[in-house]
Amino acid sequence: MSAEITRAKLVKLIDGVGQVSGQGAVYHQQDQGGVLVNRQACDFCVYCLRHPVAGDFCRYACHGAAMQTLSSGEPHYQRCWAGLLCVTVAIAPRGVYRGGVECGGFYAEGEGDEISALVAERLQAVGGMDAVPFLERVRTLREISTSALRGLGLYLLECTFSEGVNSSRVVQKQHERYQRQRQIAEAYATLQSQDMSSPDVLGDTYQLVSYLHRQDREGAMQFVSGYLAKLLLVSRWNLTRLRAHVRVLLAVITSQEILDGMDWAAATRRELMVMARIEKADSVELICSEVAEMVLAHFGRLAADASTGMRLSDRVIAWLQGHYHESATLKAVAVAVGASVSSIAHRLPEETGKTYAQLRLDMRIAEAKRLLAETDLGISEIADTCGFSDQSHFTRLFRSAINLTPGQFRQLLT
């Protein structure tokens, strides 16, 4: 997406918000390169944006709120530096932050008689600015109810989808992850209040796997938040301990999948791929998200197998599992799955969060680790077996992935 196209879409976005809702909208670019304002913005907000000091306050507040929406996948509601209500949505095509769009200049129901005093109080707290020009423009501010503000926020988010500046799929995935993290946090708080210092995590591991075996999606998703909260409790938020508990879960799931008829090689490859993502996760929150998404993916695979069509990413991954050790070019997979190269290049990051090259590398690294752990093959043979161009290429990518050379990794296991 070029800068010119992005600007045109953003102008159309904020103008459309103004025409339909009648409300002012502002876009703050990530750097200090520019601000876009629609015609419906009130005089107070326009003056703030043009003010050499207040303009910076507006920009900082917008970016801070936008980063919150980037992590939560939902509009962020707050009071700006002047004490006024506003709602912000991040602009992040393909999940890459570019800026924030905001509707503001509101005061809550019942604040009309007090809004001048509130703004004056904020101006006094900030200091260094002439309050008169701001207070003269207070009359252009608008009253808004809580429900109307929330409705405006949801409308603003939907507009970013319809104008193509945000991906609804990426935002929805982030929102689901954010909600899961909240559920885990709530379950963890409950465990702490119950003084449950030694929960039966092994028993719960088999309980979770039984939900997967019975194909009970609802039961599994209700159970997984409490299960992950228990893992956090027993691991004491230690990354290494948490990874160890997750490793046990993966082993049990793999065993059950093989007993249920899945091909041994496919089951173990999937386990190694998931474990590779767990090892790369640099926070307990990311590890918990990976586990929850793994459970969801289990039911996604069942649904895909039961239907006539699979998601494009599922078809690509299924093909890669049998060809990652070959050259396995993007063109080759496109021919194999019946899709264009551009479709794969665009859809994979949206559906999996990774590019085709990253998925292929994950599989190669996972298989290399298995061979290093379970065989006596030389490093150059493993490099060739897994599809790397040579030993040097293999060593460089392996070290980049896990911060160890192949030789160091093998040594740790002996």
- Three-state secondary structure of 124-160: HHHCCCCHHHHHHCHHHCEEECHHHHHHHHHHHHHHH
Kindly state whether residues 175 and 268 are assigned to the same domain: yes
Kindly state whether residues 63 and 162 are assigned to the same domain: yes
For residue 204, report the phi and psi dihedrals to the nearest 5 degrees.
-70, -30
Last residue of some domain: 126, 150, 166? Answer: 166
Rounded CA gap, 252 and 86, in Å?
48
Kindly state whether residues 364 and 298 are assigned to the same domain: no
Sorted by sequence, the CB contacts under 8 Å of residue 30 that are 6+ apart come out as 63, 97, 98, 99
Kindly state whether residues 108 and 208 are assigned to the same domain: no
Rounded CA gap, 339 and 379, in Å?
35
Kindly state whether residues 240 and 354 are assigned to the same domain: no
Kindly state whether residues 38 and 61 are assigned to the same domain: yes
Closest CA to 373 of 216, 196, 247: 247
Closest CA to 225 of 264, 186, 258, 253: 186
Kindly state whether residues 13 and 153 are assigned to the same domain: yes
Kindly state whether residues 145 and 260 are assigned to the same domain: no
Domain containing 350 equals 310-414
Looking at residue 393, which CATH number applies to its domain? 1.10.10.60
pLDDT tens for each residue of the chain, 414 residues long: 333 446 888 899 999 999 988 999 999 998 766 899 999 999 999 999 999 999 999 999 999 999 999 989 999 999 999 999 999 999 988 778 889 999 999 999 988 888 999 899 988 888 888 999 999 999 999 999 999 999 999 999 999 988 888 888 788 888 888 888 898 999 999 888 887 667 888 899 999 988 888 888 888 888 999 999 999 999 999 999 999 999 999 998 888 878 877 767 767 877 887 888 888 888 998 899 888 888 877 765 554 444 435 678 888 888 888 888 888 888 888 877 777 888 888 888 888 888 999 999 999 999 999 889 888 888 998 998 899 989 999 999 999 998 899 999 988 876
Give the three-class secondary structure for 314: helix
Kindly state whether residues 246 and 358 are assigned to the same domain: no
The partner residues of 107 in beta bridges, in order of sequence, read 143
Sorted by sequence, the CB contacts under 8 Å of residue 158 that are 6+ apart come out as none
Amino acid sitting at position 188 = Y
Kindly state whether residues 36 and 135 are assigned to the same domain: yes
C-alpha separations of 3 from 6, 10, 93 in Å: 5, 10, 12
Strands 142-144 and 99-108: parallel
The DSSP letter of residue 386 is T
Kindly state whether residues 91 and 201 are assigned to the same domain: no
Last residue of some domain: 166, 187, 210? Answer: 166
Give the three-class secondary structure for 323: helix
Last residue of some domain: 120, 142, 166? Answer: 166
Give the three-class secondary structure for 385: helix
Sorted by sequence, the CB contacts under 8 Å of residue 375 that are 6+ apart come out as 382
Matching residue, tokens 């990518």? 397
The partner residues of 99 in beta bridges, in order of sequence, read 29, 91
Kindly state whether residues 326 and 245 are assigned to the same domain: no
Q: How many structural domains compose the chain?
A: 3
